[in-house]
Structure 1
Amino acid sequence: MPAMLEVMSPNARLEQLAQGFRWAEGPVADPITGDILFSDVPTNTVYRWRESDGLSVYLKPSGYTGLYPDNNLQEGANGLMFNANKQLVLAQHGDRRLAMLQEASSAIPQYVTLASHYQDKLFNSPNDVVQHSGGDYYFTDPPYGLKGADQSAQKQQDVNGIYRVNAAGQVTLLASNLTRPNGLAFSPDERWLYVANSDPASATWWRYPVLADGTLGDAKLFFDATATAKTVAGLPDGLKVLPSGIVLATGPGGVWVFTPEAEHLGTLLTGVPAANVALSQDASWLYITASQYLLRIALVK
């Protein structure tokens, strides 16, 4: 479609930058160096990919330091982001918390807990995180890090929620209507919060109005890919929004491209299930974690 060519050039080629991971996730561009950090969730590792010298281990452990070992899959961080102060924030599956990296250069990385409980109960396994311009973090909390998921004896939250945590550490449950809330991203004007639901029975993307007090209004279905997910590998997972408002969302088959009005412009096929995406600092590259690979493709600037 012509509109798709305004996002990706017909001459752009998908590049394979690194491979050999068990489940690559959560890519993010370092705002200082431009390096790409991403998680290998099952191996409890965050890697760094640098244009000049390729791949290296950045953090290990990345998300499980032994805090809650019972029925814990001991997985690492999933979603990563840099906050307004250029500090790395991690959605840690294994430690069941939202955390900030305090020290990366020591032999064992040190983390500060931003939030680990809601109403005195542990989170399930925080999955992805974004920051509002006002400073609050918004994150999703499906049960993927627990053995048995919803049936785990260690699951303390009754819902798989979307939460907010403010600078004082106060946690608010914003929404509980999704079975498997996963990737999330704000629209450029922050009027909307997009959230993926990674459930084969409801492979959907949703859009919530962000109210003046930072809470969320009623969910509105953005796009339903359940029928496609029955025949094509992959589910709605991570997503990013371009400054133009175009939504780039991993889903069945690869990366789905939507207008803000939910028109599906096309899908970038990745060949294996795609987990998440990240934009370079100047939005000229799209980085994709897909199964065992780190990929990238040039975007139209």
Structure 2
Amino acid sequence: MSEDTGFDIIDKRFARYVLGNAPIEKLADGIRWIEGLVWMGDWNTLLFQDLPRDRTLMWSETGGLSVWRFPSGQANGQARDRQGRVVFCSNRERALCRVEHDGSVRVLADRFEGRRLNSPNDVVVKSDGTIWFTDPVYGISNDYEGTRQASETAPGIYRLDPRSGELTLLSDRFDGPNGIAFSPDERRLYVAETGDQTKGDPVQVLRVFDVGADGRSLSSVRDFAKVSPGYTDGMAIDEDGNVWSSAGDGVHCLSPEGELLGRIRLPGTVSNLCFGGSPHLNRLFIGVSHSLYAVFLNRRGARWP
């Protein structure tokens, strides 16, 4: 695997995001497959998954790499709720779960209309406290990142109100809904379609929905961008509404109009990423296959209302 790293400026707007004296740093390696990066600002710590090893890891500038939870339930995507708790997707439990303040784990949702969910993959918490997540079949398709089992329902995108327990199916028009993120004003919802992996040519495109005025519904789904090489798996949103997408050759920065502004070249396939670093959220943490990378940017991650 090449160790080529650097920036490719496609559009002049991208040049102002790059800090000439801020290197692209490798922070850790030896991970089987990285997923679910989330920044814990009050801990000054990054949490992420070593999914095949069934571990949630933590990294900090002062403490380096350590294990936060084992077993993790083969946790995948994760986010923080408005009370500071970690909400995570569990491949093993086929469920959306939450780590309470005392360290106990609570299942928030594992069935829809009496049928088991497939394997919740990625999750985002809206400013009203509702939890939006994707549910493809990837975690039940093999025994490496989950447990091979039969699907009971079509892949979908869901909204959970944790106060009432109401689970709403928002869309089942995806073969493999994956990464999920809101625009800074929460008027758009981005969802990565990574397709049916059993097909020779799966549909792989980043799509965007309009969020209804009620803040609960979706409409006007459309293709936003197609990343190449590779595809959008995870993504992070900055303060300007740019989408920083995973790709086969690193990270691609897309404008709110879907234009490719630039790339961060990295030596492997990027799975997921997030903004972090206290107090400014100006450090992009990146899961590159089996290694954790980071780079400081002249841009901050989005802070939601």
Q: What is the TM-score of this pair, normalised by structure 2?
A: 0.86
Tell me which amino acid in the other structure corresponds to 2:118: N
Measured after TM superposition, the shift of residue 223 of structure 1 is: 0.7
Tell me which amino acid in the other structure corresponds to 1:217: S
Tell me if the contact between 2:181 and 2:191 (Cα under 8 Å) persists in the aligned partners.
Answer: yes
Match of 2:177 in 1: 181
| Structure 2: gaps (5+ residues) | 1-10, 196-200, 300-305
Structure 2 counterpart of 1:97, from 88, 95, 98: 95
Measured after TM superposition, the shift of residue 276 of structure 1 is: 0.6
Query: Counterparts of 1:255 and 1:11 in 2: how far apart (Å)?
Result: 19
Tell me which amino acid in the other structure corresponds to 1:54: G
Tell me which amino acid in the other structure corresponds to 1:173: L
Match of 1:57 in 2: 67
Measured after TM superposition, the shift of residue 252 of structure 1 is: 2.6
Match of 2:223 in 1: 221
Output the aligned Cα RMSD. 1.7
Tell me which amino acid in the other structure corresponds to 1:38: F
Tell me if the contact between 1:202 and 1:224 (Cα under 8 Å) persists in the aligned partners.
Answer: no
Match of 1:144 in 2: 138
Tell me which amino acid in the other structure corresponds to 1:182: N
- Name which structure has the greater RCO, CA cutoff 8 Å, separation 6+: 2
Cα separation, partners in 2 of 1:193 and 1:148, compared to 1, 3 Å: same
Measured after TM superposition, the shift of residue 132 of structure 1 is: 1.0
Match of 2:156 in 1: 161
* Deviations, residues 237-271 of structure 1 (Å, cap 9, x unaligned): 11111111111111231111011011111221111
Tell me if the contact between 1:38 and 1:47 (Cα under 8 Å) persists in the aligned partners.
Answer: yes
Query: Counterparts of 1:119 and 1:202 in 2: how far apart (Å)?
Result: 28
Tell me if the contact between 1:191 and 1:211 (Cα under 8 Å) persists in the aligned partners.
Answer: yes
Structure 1 counterpart of 2:128, from 127, 134, 150: 134
* Deviations, residues 102-133 of structure 1 (Å, cap 9, x unaligned): 367xxxx6310111111111111000100111
Match of 2:211 in 1: 210
1:72-91 equivalences under 5 Å are: 76-91=74-89
1:116-135 equivalences under 5 Å are: 116-135=110-129
Match of 1:16 in 2: 26
SS in 1 for 2:132: strand
Query: Counterparts of 1:103 and 1:156 in 2: how far apart (Å)?
Result: 32
Match of 1:114 in 2: 108
Identity %: 33
Match of 1:32 in 2: 42
Tell me if the contact between 2:176 and 2:194 (Cα under 8 Å) persists in the aligned partners.
Answer: yes
Aligned pair 1:244/2:245, yes or no? no
Cα separation, partners in 2 of 1:148 and 1:18, compared to 1, 3 Å: closer
* Deviations, residues 170-213 of structure 1 (Å, cap 9, x unaligned): 11110112211111110011000011112362221000001123
Tell me if the contact between 1:25 and 1:290 (Cα under 8 Å) persists in the aligned partners.
Answer: no
1:64-75 equivalences under 5 Å are: none
Match of 2:5 in 1: none
* Deviations, residues 18-46 of structure 1 (Å, cap 9, x unaligned): 00011011111113112000001111100
Tell me which amino acid in the other structure corresponds to 1:32: D
1:284-299 equivalences under 5 Å are: 284-299=282-297
* Deviations, residues 277-297 of structure 1 (Å, cap 9, x unaligned): 111142210000111111101
Q: What is the TM-score of this pair, normalised by structure 1?
A: 0.87
* Deviations, residues 44-69 of structure 1 (Å, cap 9, x unaligned): 10000010020000001112xxxxxx
Tell me if the contact between 1:277 and 1:289 (Cα under 8 Å) persists in the aligned partners.
Answer: yes
Aligned pair 1:191/2:187, yes or no? yes
Tell me which amino acid in the other structure corresponds to 1:121: R
Aligned pair 1:41/2:41, yes or no? no
Match of 2:198 in 1: none
Measured after TM superposition, the shift of residue 143 of structure 1 is: 0.8
